[in-house]
Amino acid sequence: MKTLAKLPVTIVTGFLGSGKTTLLRHMLDNAQGRRIAVIVNEFGELGIDGEILKQCSIGCSEEEANGRVYELANGCLCCTVQEEFFPVMRELVARRGDLDHILIETSGLALPKPLVQAFQWPEIRNACTVDAVITVVDSPAVAAGTFAAYPDQVDAQRKLDPNLDHESALHELFADQLASADLVVLNKADLIDAEGLAKVRAEVAEELPPAVKVIEASSGRLPLEVLLGVGAESEAHIDGRRTHHDSHHDGDEHDDHDHDAFDSISIDLPEADESLLLDALTQLVTEFGILRAKGFAAIPGKPMRLLIQGVGTRFDKHFDRAWRSDEARITRLVLIGQDLDAVQLQARLRKALGA
């Protein structure tokens, strides 16, 4: 019986809206026969990204797809990695003869370092290796100085005093995502000019360990040969990567999580007029600084559900599949932001929809 080689694992990290799910979808669409398991860890209770991934044309039935897409319920990987991640990995390790690769999408606010360190645990280390940590960067957001796609609050603070950049929790999270990277994807490169892209590249380089490759992409479209087979063996050197969130950093006695301030709320609504819903969401995003809106809507008279993904005030929408006969035609949204009041937001949306 041949000894099984270590199963390569690629960890995809990056802020909300940077394009991680799009990159994963591209990788699955172009798997070329590779047998890939996916672990989705979304900052939100509903795991809507998992819904999106399950529609990928990865050449298997829905039942098989469900067996290949694992969702961890609580988005904060650094807090729940031991509780939820380990049983999923144990199951995948048991099936590793059936797999060629594992992809893990972290939540937009999770730190990659503790996850990579989990691959030092004997039961995982003997069976798996981290092929690469890929950090996806929202190039236009970095060019605008906001790092993630909600410019108003962060940019206002930044403009008051440019020296505050490193005091920003967001900037620290951004730096930590880069500090753990083996490959950096400057995504949405088509949305900024050459000068802006050069500025982003220079800013990113400041945070990177030497020898980390930086590549540009639009909508995550990159050859799999570039993304997979990096062979970084990240778990072997992750302890040497210094991040802002190391517990011993600068003698900081409180190692609290900067991202505790982020809320993820789920709202269920009845059928909704498409334009009314999008207008109302745009208004709420502007008023409450909502970072991300995602979910699906039931549009009166339409047999298919409308999938909605919003970053800041940019909304993408498309009809993704027909409503099944056994499911309720409802509108379900996840809103992510800081200090969000679920009751107030639900009331505002219902009023706007006349519900």
Task: Please write the tens of the pLDDT for every residue from 47-83.
Answer: 566 776 776 555 555 666 666 777 776 555 555 555 6
Q: Kindly state the average pLDDT of the residues 275-281.
A: 94
- Rounded Cα gap, residues 44 and 50, in angstroms: 11
- Rounded Cα gap, residues 211 and 314, in angstroms: 34
In this structure, what DSSP letter does residue 251 have? G
For strands 292-297 and 304-311, give the pairing: antiparallel
Token duo for residue 233: 């063996």
Dihedral (C-alpha) 225, 231, 235, 239: value to the nearest 10 degrees?
-100
- Packing angle between helix 169-179 and helix 194-207, nearest 10 degrees? 80
Dihedral (C-alpha) 235, 236, 238, 239: value to the nearest 10 degrees?
120
On the 0-12 / 13-18 / 19+ scale of CB atoms within 10 A, 100 is middle
Answer yes or no: pTM beyond 0.75.
Answer: no
Token duo for residue 68: 């290949």
**Cβ atoms within 10 Å, residue 242:** 14
Cα 335 to chain centroid distance, Å, stands at 14
Task: Please write the tens of the pLDDT for every residue from 107-128.
Answer: 666 678 888 988 998 889 999 9
Q: Concatenated DSSP letters for 150-194?
A: -HHHHHHHHHH-GGGGGG-HHHHHHHHHHHT-SEEEEE-GGGS-H
Rounded to the nearest 5 degrees, what angle is found at the Cα of 137, between the Cα atoms of 44 and 52?
40
Name the residue type at position 308: I
Closest CA to 299 of 280, 284, 316, 318: 318
Cα torsion 197, 203, 206, 212: sign: negative
- Rounded Cα gap, residues 165 and 215, in angstroms: 24
Token duo for residue 188: 């949405």
> What per-residue confidence (pLDDT) applies to 338?
73
SS3 330: coil
Order of strands across the sheet that contains 314-322: 262-269, 331-338, 292-297, 304-311, 314-322
pLDDT over 70 percentage in the chain:
75
Lookup result for tokens 């950096």? 184
Lookup result for tokens 């620290």? 172
- Rounded Cα gap, residues 28 and 31, in angstroms: 5
On the 0-12 / 13-18 / 19+ scale of CB atoms within 10 A, 169 is middle
At residue 253 the predicted structure's pLDDT band, cuts being 50, 70 and 90, is: very low
> What per-residue confidence (pLDDT) applies to 155?
45
**Cβ atoms within 10 Å, residue 231:** 12
Specify the higher pLDDT residue, 120 or 262. 120
The overall average pLDDT reported for the chain is: 79
> How many Cα atoms are found within 13 Å in the side-chain-facing hemisphere of 326?
0
Q: Concatenated DSSP letters for 57-113?
A: --SS-HHHHHHHEEEESSS-HHHHIIIIIHHHHHHHHHTGGG-SEEEEEPPTT--HH
Task: Please write the tens of the pLDDT for every residue from 156-176.
Answer: 444 444 443 344 466 777 888
